[in-house]
């Protein structure tokens, strides 16, 4: 269910999880995503990694945001999400990390399957 994914052109393991996740979700390269986020951040006068910045980019590309049900806010993990969502493209948001799920597989530089989620974005066609 976890597939290692690092589209960073230098293969760096850095704090670019937002860019990496959006590369997979939007099927774009790292540079294109970074430039798009930077342009939105410039207009919003904030940093490219802010939720409102990358949320704007996802929304512009047909994604909708959903909150994880509050029945068990600390126990719904990426692993369970993957099982519950075997089809589609999703961006999962954790406390201080984001990753992408495509057709039930989690794409990330590290295995974040056991991380608890806060909310997620789903691509609507």
Instruction: Give the neighbor-by-neighbor strand order of the sheet with 119-123.
Output: 2-4, 105-108, 98-102, 89-93, 119-123, 63-67
Quote the tokens at residue 92: 């999962």
Q: Mean pLDDT throughout 91-112?
A: 96
pLDDT tens digit string along 43-72? 999 999 899 999 999 999 999 999 987 777
pLDDT tens digit string along 17-39? 999 999 999 999 999 999 999 99
CA-CA distance, 84 to 29, in Å (whole number)?
Answer: 28
Helices (H), the chain: 17-26, 30-44, 51-60, 78-84
Q: Do residues 106 and 4 lie in contact, with contact meaning Cβ atoms separated by under 8 Å?
A: no
- Could you give the number of structural domains in the chain? 1
How much is the pTM?
0.93
Domain extent, residue 55, equals 2-8+16-123
């Amino acid at each position: 269910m976890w597939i290692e994914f690092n589209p960073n052109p230098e293969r760096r393991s850095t704090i670019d999880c937002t860019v990496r996740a959006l590369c997979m979700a939007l099927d774009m390269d790292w540079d294109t995503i970074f430039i798009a986020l930077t342009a939105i951040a410039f207009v919003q006068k904030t940093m490219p990694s802010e939720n409102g910045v990358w949320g704007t980019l996802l929304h512009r590309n047909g994604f909708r945001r959903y909150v994880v049900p509050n029945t068990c806010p600390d126990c719904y993990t990426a692993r369970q999400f993957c099982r519950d969502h075997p089809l589609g493209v999703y961006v999962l948001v954790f406390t201080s990390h984001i990753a992408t799920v495509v057709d039930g597989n989690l794409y990330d530089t590290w295995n974040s399957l056991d991380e608890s989620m806060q909310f997620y974005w789903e691509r609507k066609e």
